[in-house]
Amino acid sequence: MKKELTAEKLKKIVDSSTFNWKQIREEYQIKPLIGQQRALKALEFGVGNKSGGFNIYVSGYPGSGKLRAVNYFLSQKARLETSPGDLCYVNNFKDPYFPKKIGLPQGGGEIFKKEISSLIDEVKKALFKAFESKEYADKRQKIIDTFKQKEAELFKGIYKKASDNNFAIRRTPIEIIVLPIDERGAPIVDKKFQKLNKKKQEELLKKQKQFKEELLVLIRKNLDLEKDSNVSLLQLEENVALYAIEALLEDLLKKYKKFNDVIDYLHDIKSDIINNLNEFLDGSNLQRKVSLSKNKRFLKYQVNVITDNSHLKGAPIIMELNPTYNNLFGKVERESDMGTYITNFTLIRGGAIHKANGGYLIIPLKELLLNYFSYESLKRALKNNEVVIEDISELYGFLSTKSLKPDPIPLNVQIILIGSPRLYYLLYELDEDFKELFKVKAEFDTSMDNSIQNIKDFAGVIYKIEKENNLLPLDDKAITCLIEQASRMVHDQNKLSIRFGDISNILIEAQHYAKLESKDKISLKHINKAIDAKYYRSNLIQEKINEMIKRNQLMIPLGGSKIGQINGISVLDLGDIIFGKPNKITASIASGKKGLVDIEREAKLAGPIHTKGVLILQGYLLEKYAQKKPISLFASLVFEQSYSEIEGDSASSAELYAILSSLSQLPIKQGIAVTGSINQKGEVQPVGAINEKIEGFFEVCKQVGLTGEQGVIIPKSNEQNLMLKQEIVNAVKEKKFHVWSVSTIDEGIQILLGHPAGKQLKNKSFTKNSVHYLVDKRIDELNKTLKKYSELKE
């Protein structure tokens, strides 16, 4: 049944007297995931099930607060969980290109790092003290003296034999010389030797050769003695060093006896110190390179703490908003040294996945997909249950220089991806790995029921936003306005938007206007100004269109009556703004056999849904008027002055009214616009953007002048979607503008044509002089005209 809607039906007003806003502000305890029971259950399941592949995809539209809500939810769960341990990388003394990992209890990483640093400092002192001691010096000297004594005994005989045969043996740092001497002990060389007779020369040369051969044998024996002496010296150094080191290592070996990796590392340190005592004892030997500083000598003994969880109370929650490969998986840095780049295990850096290991890692999916290597590497890590720190250029073969290969780290992390529903369905369809790795979907709604409890919850969130952003307090009218705006945002009187990001933006902008006026509170005026200002910044195109209508460049009649012509309302969605725009729709009727022709379709300007609407309209005409006779007519429909594609079926009821007007020859009131789709039975169906459509037509009427005869016909089922601007509510209250709702085409006929629609009788005819009667009569006339023409043609 048609009815004109009262002002009270056009907007659901919050009864402020029902709520004690002051009490809510002071006592309300924020609830997790308000209005998101479905998402909450999914998150509860996902967090409680850490089996393979049960990572979570949080699906929701921008502004739904999903990132904040998930972080809050996880924080409540994570604080009850066990904190993970620390992770370190240490030098691999056998192969420095393969650094070793060491896992330690929570907070143990930095402690172990300090312990090893202290150990090396103490080792330096202990070794210095031990090797500077008198005991060591005496033992060392004894070994040297023993060697010298044995050496003297070894060469004693040959020295005497040489002397008895008038030969002298002289030792230099590089050789041993055997020379003949005269009775005074002077060497016989050069001219002296030449003056000797040949026989004497041959005799001396022969003896010299014999002595040299004997000396070579003795020198070899002496080398063995020297070697044994050096071994004894090295053994002495090792024993002294071990004695000094083992006492220092003893406490650490006891402390970490349950950590095999640490025990192995401590033994490796001990072996390396013993094998490189010169680095601790002989500083001069360490200055072979200009770049070799004192610190770099002992770099290999440092501990690189990759994750330090000492500050944690529960499981870690890491949010990586810029998930580049390095930010997620870490990297191996390089540093310049004498014109080249070098690296070592101390330059290994962990990423977000290391910090989150043992807890939760939140990643925005869109940003992750923009970093292709990150997405593929994340999937690989989840499938292998381990994460490897490696250079991305080396990973994909772009780097030829040798880099480090640190031990892989076992992965125990739950990934929470945050993204839109569209991205979820795309990945689910196109990526086989995605559906196996992200088995839990937590879907965020955009609205909740408009109940008393939910209004309290909504207000509680508003006050929380106010506090977090250091905003001015809201007065009572401002909070009720925001709640009404929340219903408007979802186009539903019975729902509230929970896209708190959008609400927060309104609040921040409203504070700006409040401060400009030096107010200490945000009032209703400031909220409305923020909403209107945001709209104004984006509605230039709407204003230009309305200006063209006012100047009659777009011909939209807003008064009087015309046959076969009606105002429909289309919607323009520009992304940041949606607004309604009136369109003149005309219908032309003639005798013929083509039936209903949609000019938009013929011009290829109609989308499939619009075409479907026109075909449904045709079905209505056939059922209504072709039960006992065929319909022989040519009817054309067109959106006048429309040159872009038209999509949707919300104008199908308006198109039908235009056809009925043209057939019945009854004029349509031009001050009334129509929106609503129809089915083949003549029922008017709901459409979207109902508020924008009414407001768009109202703006056009207002600029040319409200007459009190103008208004909009909407589907009855859209009544619950009405949350119109207060200006329109006031205009309806003052009878300057009207809004009617209808359930059927017949109800709209009475309003538009000012004539009863009529009822279909048992014989399929219609009430006399009704609109349907006149339409049926005109169809008979068109049939007769066509038949007469056909007979004449024959």
Catalytic residues: 650, 693
- CA-based nearest residue to 111, from 371, 331, 309: 309
The token duo for 672 is: 């009334």
Strand locations in 591-698 (E): 595-598, 634-639, 668-669, 672-674, 677-678, 684-685
- CA-based nearest residue to 333, from 309, 351, 317: 351
- The span from the CA of 612 to the CA of 649, in Å, is 7
Place of tokens 């909009």: 712
Q: If you write DSSP's letter for every residue of 630-660 in order, what string do you get? A: ----EEEEEETT--S-B--STTHHHHHHHHH
Report the Cα 495 to chain-centroid distance in Å. 29
- Phi and psi (nearest 5°) for 322? -125, 75
Between β-strands 386-387 and 360-364, what pairing exists: parallel, antiparallel or unpaired? unpaired
Residue 551 CB neighbours (<10 A): 8
Place of tokens 């009490």: 23
Beta bridge pairs of residue 88:
102, 305
Between β-strands 668-669 and 304-307, what pairing exists: parallel, antiparallel or unpaired? unpaired
- Phi and psi (nearest 5°) for 722? -80, 120
- Phi and psi (nearest 5°) for 430? -100, -20
Count of residues for the chain? 794
- CA-based nearest residue to 81, from 362, 328, 317: 317
CA distance readout (Å), 675 to 13, 401, 617, 688: 25, 69, 14, 10
Place of tokens 């379709």: 601
- CA-based nearest residue to 492, from 533, 430, 435, 449: 449
The token duo for 176 is: 């041993």
- CA-based nearest residue to 73, from 421, 310, 319: 319
3-state DSSP call for residue 588? Answer: strand
30, with CB counted inside 10 A (0-12, 13-18, 19+), is exposed
- The span from the CA of 566 to the CA of 671, in Å, is 9
3-state secondary structure string across 532-579: HHHHHCCCHHHHHHHHHHHCCCCCCCCCCEECCEEEEEEEEECCCCEE
Report the Cα 58 to chain-centroid distance in Å. 11
Is the CB of residue 87 less than 8 Å from the CB of residue 449? no
3-state DSSP call for residue 734? Answer: coil
290, with CB counted inside 10 A (0-12, 13-18, 19+), is exposed
Q: What contacts 181, CB < 8 A, 6 or more positions away?
A: 166, 167, 168, 187, 188
Q: What contacts 299, CB < 8 A, 6 or more positions away?
A: 344, 346
| Encoded amino acid at 365, one letter | L
- The span from the CA of 442 to the CA of 70, in Å, is 10
- The span from the CA of 689 to the CA of 676, in Å, is 11
Is the CB of residue 65 less than 8 Å from the CB of residue 498? yes
